[in-house]
Amino acid sequence: MRQDRINNSQAILSCVTGAMLACILGLTGSPSFADKKGQFVAFRPAITPMVDVVTPQGSPRVYGTSAGSRLWSSGSSMVIYRGDKVKVGAFVSTGAFELQHVDVRLDNGPLVSIYRQPWDTSFDTSALDPGYHLVQIWAQSDSPSPYSTGEQDLSFYLALPGDAGAVAPSIAPASSMLTTKVLSDTMTIGDPGSSALTSDTSFEMPGLLSDKAQTISAMVDLLVPSSRQTVGRSLAPITLDNPTVVTLALPDGSTATRCCYALYRDGSMIFQCRSLLPAVGTTILLQARSASRPGLLPGDIMFKAWGVDDKGSYGPEVSLDIRVPASTN
């Protein structure tokens, strides 16, 4: 009888500890989600990238700093050298829910889709150009939608092997941004001065919207630094002579609570957001690609956005024509 009581106490303690751990892990995610049949908590996956850099000889890349020897770390001036292998792991906090799927992309191109542990991958940098590169990690759990997905971006600077004293150039941070994306386009295009954007082009819908219902009331507006408000189709293209921030806003009477956006070149989709974003305050950083930063290649691009209401129905599209010059400072 006494042993039964001990076992019961241990079981209760285990349940309490498990519940506390689930709550602690979930604090990095999103707010609570309430269901009419009962109260429960849903957390958006919170992703912490873990990166190891390995030399062509197979040993960890070690950097000498004023504080001693260090391994590569995100956000530092440490560079990765062409020929190194980069191992990317994803530590994903999902609260009480199960992690189901992780996608890793490199420079906006698919790298790997993972459906079971270990949640990591690696890639060789031998074929990459010197300069900044972008790794995107997207995770999905069985948490109730729209809290089931999360994403995290990671950038690194690639230098040539002979440049022993190379440091990563600094990237000016964008201020007052709730959501910032440095979009990278690695597609090969033709004449940068020509545009294939026409009013009768049929565009592929983003995957988040392709099977959803439509509603006229879920409207969104786009704001650019010139304070020009865009409703429907913008006729004058925006030239990316400098990095440009596009801000999502709501017109009066809109029922949109979230939004979705995509980029198109020559009528083909080159980028789409992987999860629905807040309809108010979401900002997207657009910039031309250069030797020192990731971004969009020269040519003409269309930016499209849609509002989404709380029932999942999407509203009329709003779009901007964007011209990326052949050369930037």
The more confident residue out of 93 and 292 is: 93
pLDDT tens per residue across span 33-91:
444 334 456 677 888 889 999 999 999 999 887 778 889 987 778 899 999 999 999 88
pTM (2 d.p.): 0.46
Q: Domain map of the chain by residue range?
A: 46-159, 175-329
Superfamily of domain 46-159 in the CATH hierarchy: Immunoglobulins (2.60.40.10)
Query: Quick one: pLDDT at residue 2?
Result: 45
Range 175-329: architecture per CATH:
Sandwich (2.60)
H or E element that contains 140: strand 131-141
| Whole-number average pLDDT of the chain | 73
What's the pLDDT tens digit per position in 53-65?
999 999 999 988 7
Give per-residue pLDDT as tens, 274-301: 888 888 878 888 888 877 777 888 888 8
Distance between CA atoms of residues 189 and 173, nearest Å = 29
In this predicted structure, what is the pLDDT of residue 251? 83
| Residues 71/61, Cβ–Cβ less than 8 Å | yes
Domains 46-159 and 175-329 share a fold: yes
**Whether the predicted pLDDT of 244 surpasses 50:** yes
CA angle 146, 147, 153 (to 5 degrees): 110
Q: In what order do the strands lie in the sheet with 46-54?
A: 46-54, 85-93, 120-124
Q: Name 36's Cβ contacts closer than 8 Å, sequence gap at least 6.
A: none
pLDDT of residue 197: 30
- The tokens for 60 are 């960890």
pLDDT at 5: 45
Q: What is the pLDDT of residue 186?
A: 27
DSSP states of 185-224: -----S-TT-----TT---PPPTTTTTS-B-SS---EEE-
Report the pLDDT value the prediction gives residue 170, as an integer from 0 to 100. 52
